[in-house]
Amino acid sequence: MRQAAAASAAEPEWARTDADPSDGTEEGTARNPLRQAAADAEQGNTDELSAPKRPLNRNVKITLCYQPSLNVCTSLATASPLAAYVLLRTGSNARVGYAVGAMGVANLCAAFPAAWLADRWSRTAVIRTAVIIGAFGFCSLVASVVLGDHIHANKQFLCICASTAIVGCFVGSQSSAVEAIFGDSIPSGSRSRLYVRKQSLRVLGTAAGPLLAVVVFATVGDHWREGELEIVIACGACLFFCPALLALALSEKQTLGELSRPLLADDGDATERRQQELRIAATVCVSDVVSMLGSGMTVKFFPLFFWREVGLSPIKVQVIYVAAPTGIACCAFVAQKLSKRIGRVWVTVCTKVCACILLAVMTRVDDGPLIIVLYLLRTWLANCCSGLTRSILNDYVRKDERARWNAAESINRFGWSGSAVLGGHLVDLYGYRFTFLITAGLQLCSAAILSSLARVVERESSSTYARVESRGDGETKEEPAPGDEEGRRAKPD
């Protein structure tokens, strides 16, 4: 009897399975999350092995609404309608690249200073400042487009470039701070589910933009004309007030404490642990930057390719851009479930390789319907795992560095615009298909880089979550860093 009692006392808090009247546990209740997960699996409830259901944090709920609403706005105001409008006004693919590239370069220039301020100063203050910049940028974009008939095309092009640069500053400034607050509001070891949900909602917001564009084109005319495109761009800019209000509602006071610390926080020597953190974060970011460079060369030119070479009308192109994000959202959930079995890294690498093969095949096909099918399959596979890579990054970086690393990762979504300048020149010189091949090659390199983490990044499981839960539960809890009490991140000296 005494030996059993001693063994129970020596057992870690999270591993105990016997009832304990001190915490209200009834007799017969299994307290070990590992055994509880196994029991759930026997009942067929295997889809959530990594963490028990818990109420969503307020910041998580707001971010899950913010991302799709922002993408509705940007997909209307700065995506294919703007690219087609610039091409009609200037007659140059290279100038389309410059207009898009201005946004990407501004994003890159703003992202890292804003991330440093978010980590060292205040994330909510950075977000509020970014919202003001964004409101000015979208207003100036509408003015540049609507007043185009009254100024020369070259002057209007410069105004559009300036406006997209301001919008790029907004995107770069807000993204890292929003992502850091989101990451700090989710327990480590259980992020992939919520990151995939966020990614799916974000891409569905991207689909909502083209869906609204279909309604506008069906109302004013299904033609590639400046007047129709101006209306679509203006509608997108006017919707900016929705994500702006949501961004202002985010709060650092609602973030978690010990539960959101990195997975390596309790393992091994401090120096070795730090090297492992840096290796994982740097590899994920480098892989995404290489992929971004490839995507940026072509992503804005796909709708022009469908228009010029496949001969599709505006409504048909917008329907494609409704189907593409919808498929990404569905594939993202499948990828997340598959990652529970074979790991997040291998799922991401396999989908990237398949996407590269499909893009290369697409360059050799002339049949219009087959091109569309290949494009959709390639797009679904190439983009369905961004939530998984983001969850890896936030699982392994320190809380007080998340904004900085998320700044580098955020370039994967918007910063690719900078390489659109090179893509525009390549399209003018060699055509769309040659540029698509270069994109496939760069994304294949990205997959090779990420594969080096296959043996390093652990697969999410119930044991991972149990280790995280133990930090705030008893003997295994670490003392928080100075200034990190009550869930706040450590302040600088």
User: Is the predicted pLDDT of residue 480 greater than 50, yes or no?
Assistant: no
Q: What is the DSSP string of 107-145?
A: HHHHHHHHHHHHHHT-HHHHHHHHHHHHHHHHHHHHHHH
Q: Which residues contact 89 (CB under 8 A, 6 or more apart)?
A: 148, 153, 156, 157, 226
Neighbour tally for 274: CB within 10 Å: 12
Q: What confidence tier does 208 reach under pLDDT thresholds 50, 70, 90?
A: confident
Over range 155-168, report the average pLDDT: 91
Q: What confidence tier does 82 reach under pLDDT thresholds 50, 70, 90?
A: confident
The model scores a pTM over 0.85? no
HSE at residue 15, side-chain half, CA atoms within 13 A, is: 11
CB 461 within 8 A of CB 341: no
Over range 110-121, report the average pLDDT: 84
Range with the poorest average pLDDT among 42-46, 154-158, 408-412: 42-46
Q: What is the reported pLDDT for 15?
A: 39
Q: What confidence tier does 147 reach under pLDDT thresholds 50, 70, 90?
A: confident
Q: What confidence tier does 301 reach under pLDDT thresholds 50, 70, 90?
A: confident
Crossing angle for the helix pair 226-238 and 191-220, nearest 10 degrees? 140
For residue 464, the surrounding DSSP H or E stretch is helix 462-469
Q: What is the reported pLDDT for 102?
A: 85
Q: What is the reported pLDDT for 418?
A: 61
- Tell me which residue of 48, 65, 71 sits closest to 336, measured CA to CA: 48
Q: Considering the domain boundaries, does residue 27 fall inside one?
A: no
Q: What is the reported pLDDT for 414?
A: 53
Range with the poorest average pLDDT among 154-158, 196-200, 444-448, 476-480: 476-480
- Over the stretch 346-402, which tens digit does the pLDDT of each residue have? 999 999 999 999 999 999 998 989 999 999 999 999 988 888 888 888 778 777 776
Residue 435, domain extent: 60-249+263-468
Q: 244, exposed or middle or buried, with CB in 10 Å at 0-12, 13-18, 19+?
A: buried
CA distance 71 to 271: 40
Q: What is the DSSP string of 26-83?
A: PTT----HHHHHHHHHHTT--TT-S----PPPHHHHHHHHHHHHHHHHHHHHTSHHHH
Q: Considering the domain boundaries, does residue 488 fall inside one?
A: no
Q: Which residues contact 381 (CB under 8 A, 6 or more apart)?
A: 331, 351, 352, 354, 355, 358
Q: How far is CA 189 from CA 30, 169, 395, in A?
A: 21, 32, 7
CB 65 within 8 A of CB 205: no
Q: Considering the domain boundaries, does residue 4 fall inside one?
A: no
| More confident: 153 or 369 | 369
- Over the stretch 260-276, which tens digit does the pLDDT of each residue have? 455 555 555 667 777 88
Q: What is the reported pLDDT for 375?
A: 95
Q: What confidence tier does 10 reach under pLDDT thresholds 50, 70, 90?
A: very low
Q: Considering the domain boundaries, does residue 358 fall inside one?
A: yes
Euclidean distance between the first and final Cα of the chain, in Å?
52
What is the separation of C-alpha 205 from the centre of its chain, rounded to a whole number of angstroms? Answer: 13
| More confident: 355 or 488 | 355
| More confident: 352 or 227 | 352
Q: Considering the domain boundaries, does residue 406 fall inside one?
A: yes
Q: Considering the domain boundaries, does residue 16 fall inside one?
A: no
Q: What is the reported pLDDT for 222?
A: 73
Q: What confidence tier does 413 reach under pLDDT thresholds 50, 70, 90?
A: low
Q: What is the reported pLDDT for 38?
A: 41
User: Is the predicted pLDDT of residue 227 greater than 90, yes or no?
Assistant: no
- Over the stretch 429-460, which tens digit does the pLDDT of each residue have? 898 999 999 999 999 999 999 999 888 886 66
- Token pair 């922002």: residue: 70
What is the separation of C-alpha 450 from the centre of its chain, rounded to a whole number of angstroms? Answer: 17
Q: What is the reported pLDDT for 348?
A: 93
Q: Considering the domain boundaries, does residue 295 fall inside one?
A: yes
Q: What is the reported pLDDT for 190?
A: 66
User: Is the predicted pLDDT of residue 189 greater than 80, yes or no?
Assistant: no
Number of domains into which the chain is organized: 1
Q: What confidence tier does 137 reach under pLDDT thresholds 50, 70, 90?
A: very high
User: Is the predicted pLDDT of residue 16 greater than 60, yes or no?
Assistant: no
Over range 410-438, report the average pLDDT: 78
Q: What is the reported pLDDT for 4?
A: 47
Q: What is the CATH number of the domain that holds 376?
A: 1.20.1250.20
Local structure of 262: helix, strand or coil:
coil
CB 230 within 8 A of CB 85: yes
**Helix locations, 221-310, DSSP H:** 226-238, 241-248, 270-296, 302-308
What is the separation of C-alpha 84 from the centre of its chain, rounded to a whole number of angstroms? Answer: 25
Over range 468-484, report the average pLDDT: 43
Q: How far is CA 1 from CA 6, 8, 12, 296, 377, in A?
A: 9, 11, 19, 68, 63
CB 106 within 8 A of CB 172: yes
Q: What is the reported pLDDT for 257?
A: 59
Q: Considering the domain boundaries, does residue 20 fall inside one?
A: no
Q: 229, exposed or middle or buried, with CB in 10 Å at 0-12, 13-18, 19+?
A: buried
Mean model confidence pLDDT for the chain: 77
